[in-house]
Structure 1
Amino acid sequence: MEEPEEWNIIDVVSEKLDIRKNVVENLLRMVEKEECTVPFIARYRKEQTRGMEADKLRKFTETLQDLRDVQKKATSMMKNVEKQGKLDMQVKQSLKCAQTIDELNHVYAPYKGDKKHSLADRARALGLEEASKFLLEHPKEKINLRIWVRKGVEGRSTLSDVEKGVRHLICDFIAKHPSTLEQVRKIFQNHYMMLESKVSTVKLKSEADLSSKVSQQKQTSKDESDHKYQLYYNFRCQISKLKSYQVLAINRGEAQKQLTVKVLISDRIEDSFIHWYKLRWLRDVKHDKVRDILLPCIEDSYNRLIKPLVLRKARSDLTKSAHMASVEVFCRNLRKLLLTAPVRGKAVLGVDPGFKNGCKCAILSSTGNVILATDIFNLRQPLQERMGKLRQLYQNHKFEVVGIGNGTACRETEQFISTFIKHVGNPNLVYCIVNEDGASIYSVTKEAETEMPNLDPNLRSAVSIARRLQDPLVELVKIEPKHLGVGMYQHDIASNMLKAALNSVVVDCVTLVGVDLNVAGPSLLSHVAGLKAGQVKKILDWRKKNGKFINRQQLLEVPGIGAKTYEQCAGFMRISQKNVQDHENCIIVDDDSTDETIVGRKRKNKFTGKTRSEKKRRIVEHTPNLLDQTWIHPEAYEVTKK
């Protein structure tokens, strides 16, 4: 039987994600060599990806990163084993053929140098590795294990001790052989396994203790709190048919010691693997004595080493796929929230409802940039008093829409606003409920303090609610996605994984809508694909110093923005022609070149007497470009004009 060769990353990615190999090659080049971002590839390199969407491109980058991590870790492990002087061809090939971190750890376990040694480690320390290698490499020859017996040496003093040590080494060797790992990947598939969950013995014992110690009322309360796990007290399902929410619920129940969970492998599959195992390692054996040693090794190797690896991998893959599905739900909900249609050109009254501290109000201008007025009214005040305060605000500022936060006292505030609108009698005055998740957190951030330094944090949340109505995307990018209340089980998912996925959705939404380069603040610019925090700061500093951008080409004059950054981010920038009509169309740039128009005069050096130019400056002409307000990339301007 031929031994499996080292895997190729193009083949593995193509198989895992069902992508053509030539497309994988194009993506590898763009992601790793050209350092293109996902939004840029999704929009401007469709011909090279066969129109792949951003979500699938992101799955590609995640899979690629996982496989690169495996390759990197395998190389590191080989170096460590080589330092120990134990790197032979079998170990090297096993590490190179591993496709997951679990497989790498399985192969590398004997070389970790842990204080807790395995049975094979102890046998190896006794010097029995030579005997096990001879037995495996010469299956047709008869072997006499008595020559390895050493009187007075614990573990080698009798023939049975030597045989036991040799068996442990053989078990370890065949369990970590590349052909074994390859066969494990082929045979043990999810549709051949079942997941079973039962009520845990810890819970049963605690319930028995509680029933004798606590009152009936407390016991009832306890039962209600655990009701959510009752569906899984006697649960059994094929792994391939499990829903992601079921996996997450079972994992949480197991972590809280409410459930005991097992993965069961089909007897037919186990028999099939053991049959292959025997055929692989016993086919050349000619002597009964050697067969008597190897046969128990095969069964022990499967039960003690292979089966636990398969079960761990099944649970790990199940949890990983459930987390990915959960993150997809988060991303889908967040995308819908960010791309909610804005209410433009209307003055808005934002109301953050509450009983204890009253209802905080803020009126914003039609552009959202100016806070016209703020006030607070209490729902416990007499109706006429509240009505008079709100009527005064309406008469002074003529707001057209009322946005009510959906928090505490939302329903009572809605009834009051509805009554107020009836009294006003203006059919164009309307109200709506706004999701206020994260508004209170944003109100105490440094960014909110910078934007509204003289405003109380309670009133800032009302401003945030009004702005969410006027332009949801611009306002919501200021808040961490995990605070927006767009999914479930967020505390069970790795925070780095969730944060990266949600931030990528924000980037997708920002790049889809586009960013006005002359209006956008730091929060919006920081989510433009291809821009880093330092570059965002330099863009803002440049804008503050030189005024508005006239065209996209001026981005290249910002310090820190090179050709590669410009290529990646320019297509997502917009320059509204309304904002640059009255702006000067030239800018003076410091330069050392001699082929431009130089502004300056000659002067003598007082030490050398030679004349030299003052600091040279060139006048660069800039004119607005109509294409700068579209999603067309600057690289396609010439084609577009033609």
Structure 2
Amino acid sequence: MDDITARSWDIADILARQLNLNLDVVIRLINMVEKDQCTIPFIARYRKEQTNGMDPDSLRNFTNLLNELRLVQKKCSTMIKTLQKQGNLDKKTQLSLQSAQTTDELDHAFAPFKEKKSSLANRARELGLDEAANSVLSKPNEVDLRKWVVKRTEGRSTLSEVETGVKYIIADLISKEKATMDKIREVFQPYRMQLESKLSASKKKEMEKKNSETKKAGTTDLKHDFKKGQDEDITKYQSYHDFICKLPSLKSYQVLAINRGEAHKHLTVKVTISKEIESKFLTWSKSHWTSNVHKQDILNLLKYCVEDSYNRLIKPFVLRKARSDLTKKAREEAVDVFSRNLKKLLLTPPLRGKIVLGVDPGFKNGCKCAVISSTGNEVLETDVIYLGSKNAKQKIQRLYGKHKFSVIAIGNGTACRESESFFSQFITKNRGSDLVYCIVNENGASIYSVTTEAQKELPDLDPNLRSAVSIARRLQDPLVELVKIEPKHIGVGMYQHDIPDTLLKTALGCVIEDCVTFVGVDLNIANESLLGRIAGLKKTQVKKIIEYRNKHGHFINRKQLLEISGLGEKTFQQCAGFIRISHKYLVDSEKIENNNNNNNDEKPEVETTEKGRKRKQKPSTAVKMKKARVDWKMNPLDQTWIHPESYELAEKFITNLNLDVKELGKPEFINNVKHAIYEIGVKKLADKLSAGVPTLQLIADGLSQDAGFRDIRSQMRRPLFRRGITSMQDLRCGTKVSGRITNVTDFGVFVDVGVGQDGLIHMSEVGGRWEEVKQCLGPNDTVEVLVKSVDSQRKRVSLRLIHANLSKTTFV
């Protein structure tokens, strides 16, 4: 390894240490990610033996840190090459760059050498005082700085000027030296620092001026009304007007709120370091740089350099890094909140086989209504009703009488409360029916309604009515509908406007990928949006899959994907386990095709044109499909999440249990598999078949699925359906009610208890289990709560958690 790429740290060692992982696991992971280009979902599900069972979140954390360290390595090499070309590279600088483990540390070490960068140390170097500084450090007891005095040369004409220049260079070298950087990491730990925020001087004057004006006007109302165009209220940051907190104790929402307050010039913020820690670092630095110095003038010079380096260079760097780390961590936690909420939303169980009335509530433009078929593929009828009009009830009654919808999906936007009341009365009027309603998150529906995809799907519908269709379909299959919308528009989480768009888009895109691969996708019915979220597939490949399906008919076997141009073995390996081919769907489709084309075989091979000439007839699509089916046979294992690379092992397992793969999905087959696992144990069976325990367990679970294409979301918690509502006035302290979670933040859980205003379960009201609650609960989960307090005027409801299912979804 040459001097440019040689490093003072090993990337695998750092990953193992920082993430508390086995070094062998780290090395295998690096190879899978970088050499084999495996996707996270593929590694998480099909390479458990090699990762010791790491979940997707842990794997993404690993790859993010790996990418950061690779970026540091790449940037370091570029910087060293740049310095070589400039002739500014020495061993100390090279070692400082190579010891840096973050881009911040790299930038700090490289700062003096940036082009067009004017610094005190650089100006001293331009005067030719580098040699003098190096002499002071290498021969402190022999050096005589008068040697570098040059008469009538600005900056070097006197001994004092030479000493000043040398001090700047040495202070700079001290701040960049490897030993110094190592000591900085050791000493300046977050728990030794605190953050302070205060009301900014400008806002303080503004508030005092407003208070003075209100007193003159003879009123006691001290609320501040800002000028037109300003949307921030000074009381919004009141909690941070005189705020002090140790860095490790800061919550992510506090950091983001303080950052926003500072950006809007409401707050002044600073990080402080304890005097004890500063003294400790300075004592070490002076000892480190002056231990062998006996010459008094040089000793004094070096002590001054140490203090100057700390106050002018090191301390500002430490404080900047502390703020940067706080913000980075807060953003990551905010994104994590988004991710957990989005996962819950996407994994809400689909509503199968129900005709749904989707309602996009509104006052001025009325409530847009759309009746959707039980499959979700057909819009049966649309209409617009105005809640205050005389014919509103008649219109809904007519739609109900004609289509017999059984569920009403009401968007949670403007006029939701009034629409809820209207349809509750309608349900009461139709007693004896099985009618229920459900409040559905409508965020992003209006954005979707004007997209190109919406225009393709619903070309004949007005965009306002498309949003009603989207709301209904979100209830029928949240995953299929919500993948069409940019994650940031779905509106779950907190402080989304303070998160960089690229960070949010990447993180939430990963969540959608996890959910799609977790549930699986039927290759023959999935749309382009859904296929595009499968790990390992690119947009161009998805389009080719759709084209292939349109041209050749339904897929019979997973391996047919290899016939598609541009989709090779590597892509097939990464995506194959996440697609399904439902045999039930294929059989039903085959029957329909046969009924529609039962005379195809009787048609002549030639046909007569209008002029009497004969020409060869082109084979129909049905005939092409039939010929294709001769070459490709159905494989029952294609209905499961078992990967094709494990089919041979799965068949051995089935044979070992004296079962027939053709019986896959039948109750007796499933019971025999479960019984064998229970009686013999996975470990013994794995040893017998020379297989890994996680792989065999995955196979056993796949063989235990119901017949056909079973949706794993069916075991998740269903959304809350209601028939009637209450008002806020009906709530009483001590009342126990059921509610549907609408959002989870870092400070509490918002719950819809059916009164038109979400209540808040504060993090202190969950029985000391906040971390568990935060990780496990999300939108559409149902909880039992106790009403603590009701403030009708301020529209606030405080709740206490009584009961919730805290089982966590595992993505495999």
TM-score by length of 1: 0.91
* SS of residue paired to 2:383: strand
Tell me, in whole angstroms, the C-alpha distance in 2 between the residues paired with 1:71 and 1:458.
52
Q: 1:621 aligns with which of 622, 631, 647?
A: 631
Shift of 1:416: 1.6
- For 2:650, give the aligned amino acid: T
8 A Cα contact 2:556 2:629, kept in partner? no
Tell me, in whole angstroms, the C-alpha distance in 2 between the residues paired with 1:313 and 1:78.
23
* SS of residue paired to 2:357: strand
Q: For residue 58 of structure 2, what is the aligned residue in structure 1?
A: 56
Equivalent residues in 2 for 1:467-486, closer than 5 Å: 467-486=473-492
- Closer/same/farther in 2, CA of residues 509 and 582 from structure 1, 3 Å limit: closer
- Give the CA RMSD over aligned residues: 1.9
Comparing 155-164 with 209-218, greater Cα deviation is found at: 209-218
Q: For residue 156 of structure 1, what is the aligned residue in structure 2?
A: 156
Shift of 1:233: 1.0
- 1:204 matches 2:204: yes
Kindly provide the CA deviation profile for residues 551-578 of structure 1, in whole angstroms up to 9, marking residues without a partner as x.
1010111111100000000000011102
- For 1:130, give the aligned amino acid: E
Shift of 1:222: 3.3
- 1:412 matches 2:413: no
- Closer/same/farther in 2, CA of residues 472 and 191 from structure 1, 3 Å limit: same
- 1:351 matches 2:353: no
Q: For residue 366 of structure 1, what is the aligned residue in structure 2?
A: 374
Kindly provide the CA deviation profile for residues 360-384 of structure 1, in whole angstroms up to 9, marking residues without a partner as x.
11111110001111111111211xx
Q: 1:222 aligns with which of 202, 225, 232?
A: 225
- 1:261 matches 2:263: no
Equivalent residues in 2 for 1:584-623, closer than 5 Å: 621-623=631-633
Kindly provide the CA deviation profile for residues 425-471 of structure 1, in whole angstroms up to 9, marking residues without a partner as x.
33311111111111111101110000000100010001001100100
Q: For residue 613 of structure 1, what is the aligned residue in structure 2?
A: none
5+ residue gaps, structure 1, are: 586-616
* SS of residue paired to 1:454: coil
Equivalent residues in 2 for 1:105-144, closer than 5 Å: 105-114=107-116, 116-139=117-140, 141-144=141-144
- 1:632 matches 2:634: no
Kindly provide the CA deviation profile for residues 595-637 of structure 1, in whole angstroms up to 9, marking residues without a partner as x.
xxxxxxxxxxxxxxxxxxxxxx999711111111111111111
- For 1:222, give the aligned amino acid: D
Q: For residue 44 of structure 1, what is the aligned residue in structure 2?
A: 46
* SS of residue paired to 1:373: strand
Shift of 1:419: 1.8
- For 1:630, give the aligned amino acid: T
8 A Cα contact 1:535 1:561, kept in partner? yes
Tell me, in whole angstroms, the C-alpha distance in 2 between the residues paired with 1:429 and 1:487.
31
Tell me, in whole angstroms, the C-alpha distance in 2 between the residues paired with 1:326 and 1:273.
34
8 A Cα contact 1:244 1:325, kept in partner? yes
Tell me, in whole angstroms, the C-alpha distance in 2 between the residues paired with 1:308 and 1:519.
58
Tell me, in whole angstroms, the C-alpha distance in 2 between the residues paired with 1:418 and 1:240.
49
* SS of residue paired to 1:264: strand
8 A Cα contact 1:142 1:290, kept in partner? no
- 1:457 matches 2:469: no
- For 1:330, give the aligned amino acid: F
- Closer/same/farther in 2, CA of residues 103 and 381 from structure 1, 3 Å limit: same
Tell me, in whole angstroms, the C-alpha distance in 1 between the residues paired with 2:351 and 2:78.
55
Equivalent residues in 2 for 1:302-341, closer than 5 Å: 302-341=310-349
Shift of 1:149: 0.9
* SS of residue paired to 1:326: helix
Shift of 1:213: 6.4
Q: 2:520 aligns with which of 514, 517, 522?
A: 514
Tell me, in whole angstroms, the C-alpha distance in 2 between the residues paired with 1:449 and 1:403.
22
Shift of 1:206: 2.6
- 1:250 matches 2:258: yes
Q: Highest relative contact order (Cα 8 Å, sep 6+), 1 or 2?
A: 2
Tell me, in whole angstroms, the C-alpha distance in 1 between the residues paired with 2:544 and 2:58.
33
- For 1:632, give the aligned amino acid: I
Tell me, in whole angstroms, the C-alpha distance in 2 between the residues paired with 1:278 and 1:93.
21
5+ residue gaps, structure 2, are: 1-5, 227-231, 592-626, 653-812
Q: For residue 573 of structure 1, what is the aligned residue in structure 2?
A: 579
Kindly provide the CA deviation profile for residues 377-419 of structure 1, in whole angstroms up to 9, marking residues without a partner as x.
111211xx22221121112111111111111111111122122
Tell me, in whole angstroms, the C-alpha distance in 1 between the residues paired with 2:419 and 2:82.
67
* SS of residue paired to 1:6: coil
Tell me, in whole angstroms, the C-alpha distance in 1 between the residues paired with 2:34 and 2:120.
43
* SS of residue paired to 2:223: helix
Shift of 1:581: 2.4
Shift of 1:579: 2.4
- 1:165 matches 2:175: no
8 A Cα contact 2:552 2:628, kept in partner? no
8 A Cα contact 1:580 1:624, kept in partner? no
- For 1:65, give the aligned amino acid: N
- Closer/same/farther in 2, CA of residues 58 and 217 from structure 1, 3 Å limit: farther
Q: 2:398 aligns with which of 392, 396, 400?
A: 392
8 A Cα contact 1:355 1:409, kept in partner? yes
- 1:377 matches 2:385: yes
TM-score by length of 2: 0.72
- For 1:137, give the aligned amino acid: S
Shift of 1:289: 2.2
Comparing 422-431 with 92-101, greater Cα deviation is found at: 422-431
Tell me, in whole angstroms, the C-alpha distance in 2 between the residues paired with 1:618 and 1:526.
25
Tell me, in whole angstroms, the C-alpha distance in 2 between the residues paired with 1:471 and 1:60.
32
Q: 1:558 aligns with which of 553, 559, 564?
A: 564
Shift of 1:218: 9.4
Q: How many equivalent residue pairs?
A: 604
